[in-house]
Amino acid sequence: GAAPAVHAQAAIRWRLASSFPKALDTIFGAAEVFAEKVNAMSGGKFVVTVHAAGELMPAFGVVDGVQQGTVEAAHTAPYYFFGKDDTFALGAAIPFGLNSRQLTSWFYDGNGMKLFREFYDKYNIINFPGGNTGAQMGGWYRKEIKTLADIKGLKFRVGGFAGKVLSRMGAVPQNIPGGEIYQALEKGTIDAVEWVGPYDDEKLGFQKVAKNYYYPGFWEGGAQLDFYINKAAFNALSKENQAIVESAASYAHTEMQARYDNRNPAALKRLVAGGVKLRPFPKVVMDEAFKQSMALYEELRQSNPNWKKIYDDYSAFRKDQNQWFRFTEATFDRYMQSAKL
Amino acid sequence: GAAPAVHAQAAIRWRLASSFPKALDTIFGAAEVFAEKVNAMSGGKFVVTVHAAGELMPAFGVVDGVQQGTVEAAHTAPYYFFGKDDTFALGAAIPFGLNSRQLTSWFYDGNGMKLFREFYDKYNIINFPGGNTGAQMGGWYRKEIKTLADIKGLKFRVGGFAGKVLSRMGAVPQNIPGGEIYQALEKGTIDAVEWVGPYDDEKLGFQKVAKNYYYPGFWEGGAQLDFYINKAAFNALSKENQAIVESAASYAHTEMQARYDNRNPAALKRLVAGGVKLRPFPKVVMDEAFKQSMALYEELRQSNPNWKKIYDDYSAFRKDQNQWFRFTEATFDRYMQSAKL
């Protein structure tokens, strides 16, 4: 074996800023899992402290924080940063985008990682997939959504980029951090909210205010989180520690989806038992949202070269994936979902 | 930071026996990914060499190999070992079992890992999930499957435990390692074969012999592979290296599913362009297989306490998962699969 390198003796201390509140052991928990694994694999010589939204910087300040080196790392949902460049959203979720497994596949074995490494370079960011929520629910509404008219004027908390599609349908989207949504809903500042799904949503307490719980969250068929690492901090690591960061992120990526999948079913049962009404979005709403989404993506292809470069690869991948998934994967799942188990 | 531990200087060399042939960069590749990550994270001080089926021991000899310490590690599909105990199958796939995400969730956040660590203890095995194929195809048939009568007497290569259900339907199942299937099909020793899906199957060349390609592979809705580690070898590792093994396995777990998902669509298109006929199994076949599966599982509950203990947890989890997945996840996927993309 090689002689032990000197860096193995040095304690490395990183700060990680999360965009999420501590109460959410799923999405905030992914950063804790990352830190635990880095710590364990380095034998305590590489320590990452995890800070909830607002502790070091605001929930939506973490890209600036990593870019400027205020913190070495962040854990966030890229689509929050569509104001900087809409292209961020393609690394998290866009309306009618890839589902969880498909997005992971695009990053791990397709062109997703390569394209986003290039894109993030000007932000001094090295990105690693850091969890997925799976297909999200479509949110909590005081009033039923029966026609397109019910969307018009709706003050709706929705995460990041998706608001662009909903505003084309007449909604008034609000990009509010997770930890601040409940208050806005309770005070009546907003009419409706979406966060993730039953397990998180129940904790945040939306069922106390709005009883109509819609699906699917067509704007988040599989929302991916990312670990953002400051480029200089990453490059200063030994090759071993760089590999440790990569695998710790991967572990957290898989663990987060596993937590949501394991914890959502019981939460959904509790919510329904408590009087929540599960409702599918009307087809007319889905179809109009689809039409507006595709129109928006085409506009962005014309106006934003970053979007065009990444979306063209993403959308070709999406087409192939859905052609394949509809055979054996969908047929198996459909059979199981209708079977008496 | 802590002083560098002495073990960091020692070279650790492990041998890993795979049950798969080198040609399959998906399923064999997962063991190579595991080895690469262990090597990178340890800075070359922990080296795992990966050996294809037959190189050190037969494809189906790897549990004995790990149990006896002939090798430190193996990468295999647990259901091959149903002859030792049918319970092995629950860690890989059973007919009408969990899909890929659900099985990962059961292992990472449900009771799957705890239950299997207990089960494997008597085999001197520490297990880590080591990839999933996703829902498999139902295989290649010289003749069409139109009724239950077409299953009777069918000499069918099928992986491991699933043969028990198919034999109850009159088939004559054969558990043949991946590297030896093509020859058996070509020689006419068997009438039909299943392996995994388009990408692997095309490489193995089944389309040259049988043109009817059925779906879904209802006996493998999400077949998980495992890394098996010899208990004494694992316990001899430092805590750091134990954590490295765990995260390397996790990386390989996620990467393998990503490869299948990314590579299957193009292979399916090539196969169909080459004249392969895609066919869904008739409902009568699915329903009879479901009925026989549930009857078998109940018999095993009565006769095998290991099965009962793990299956009872597995089946409760399966019920909850399918209740939840049918709402937002399935509705989103169905919309995307029918959309003009």
B331 in contact with A, Cβ within 8 Å: yes
Closest residue to A328, CB basis, from B8, B215, B259 = B215
**Across the interface, do B251 and A255 touch by the CB < 8 Å criterion?**
no
- Average pLDDT (A238-262) is 98
Per-residue pLDDT, A10: 54
**Residue pLDDT, tens place only, B131-152:** 999 999 999 999 999 999 999 9
Q: Name which of A41, A100, A280 is nearest B244 (Cβ-Cβ).
A: A41
Strand A46-51 relative to strand A277-280, pairing: unpaired
If pLDDT is split at 50, 70 and 90, which confidence band does A1 have?
very low
Q: Name the CATH superfamily, with its identifier, for domain A11-132+222-262.
A: Bacterial extracellular solute-binding protein, family 7 (3.40.190.170)
Its CATH class, for the domain covering B11-133+223-262, is alpha beta
Task: Say whether pLDDT at A4 is over 80.
Answer: no
| Sequence-separated (6 or more) residues with CB below 8 Å from residue B200 | B24, B26, B27, B178
B153 touches chain A (CB under 8 A): no
Residues B12, B45 contacting (CB under 8 angstroms): yes
The residue-averaged pLDDT of A301-312 equals 98
* pLDDT range class, residue B7, cuts 50, 70, 90: very low
The β-bridge relationship of strands A12-18 and A46-51 is parallel
Rg (CA), chain B: 20
Q: Per residue in A229-240, pLDDT tens?
A: 999 999 999 999
User: pLDDT by residue (tens digit) across B208-238?
Assistant: 999 999 999 999 999 999 999 999 999 999 9
Task: Please name the member of A216, A257, A331 whose beta carbon is closest to the beta carbon of B216.
Answer: A331
The pLDDT assigned to B5 comes to 47
**ipTM of predicted assembly, 2 dp:** 0.96
pLDDT of residue B160: 87
Average pLDDT over residues B270-274: 98
CB-based contact, B6 to chain A, within 8 Å? no
Chain B interface includes A214 (CB < 8 A): no
**Of A10-14, B82-86, B91-95, where does mean pLDDT reach its minimum?**
A10-14
* Pairs across A and B, CB distance < 8 A: 272
Residue B214 confidence (pLDDT)? 98
- Residue A1, token pair as written in the block: 């074996």
Which 3 state secondary structure label does DSSP give B97?
Answer: coil
d(CA B152, CA B163): 13
Report domain extents, chain B. Answer: 11-133+223-262
Element (H, E) at A34: helix A29-41
Instruction: Say whether residue B138 is in contact with chain A using an 8 A CB cutoff.
Output: yes
Residue A138 forms contact with B (CB below 8 Å): yes
Of the candidates B72, B221, B341, B291, which has an alpha carbon nearest to the alpha carbon of residue A98?
B341
pLDDT of residue B9: 52
Residue listed under structure tokens 């995307």: B336
Question: b/e map of B92-121 (b: 16 or more CB within 10 Å)?
Answer: bbbbbbbbbbbbbbbbbbbebbebbeebbe
Of B265, B315, B325, the CB nearest to A333: B325
Mean pLDDT for all residues in chain A:
95
**DSSP 3-state assignment of A287?**
helix
Q: Could you tell me where the DSSP H helices lie in B137-206?
A: 163-168, 181-187, 198-204
Q: What is the mean pLDDT of chain B?
A: 95
Cα(A207)–Cα(B264) distance, rounded to whole angstroms?
A: 41
Instruction: Tell whether A292 is within 8 A of chain B (Cβ).
Output: no
Interface mutation target, options B200, B279, B332, B334, chain A, most CBs of A under 10 Å: B332
Dist CA A237 CA A38 (whole Å): 13
Least-confidence region, from B98-112, B140-154, B180-194, B217-231? B180-194
Could you give the CA distance from residue B2 to residue A46 in angstroms, rounded to a whole number? 10
Amino acid residing at B56: L
CA distance B47 to chain A (A): 9
State the smallest CA–CA distance between residue B46 and chain A in angstroms: 8
Q: Between vectors from CA B245 to CA A129 and to CA A29, what angle results, nearest 5°?
A: 40
Q: What is the mean pLDDT of residues A41-51?
A: 97
Question: B74 is written with which tokens?
Answer: 């193996």
Q: Transcribe B225-281 into DSSP letters.
A: EEEEEEHHHHHTS-HHHHHHHHHHHHHHHHHHHHHHHHHHHHHHHHHHHTTPEEEEP
Per-residue pLDDT reduced to its tens digit, B286-304:
999 999 999 999 999 999 9
Give the minimum alpha-carbon distance from B104 to chain A in angstroms, rounded to a whole number. 6
Q: How far apart are CA B270 and CA B191, in angstroms?
A: 23
pLDDT at residue B10 in the model: 54
Residues 6+ apart with CB under 8 A from B67: B123, B124, B125, B230
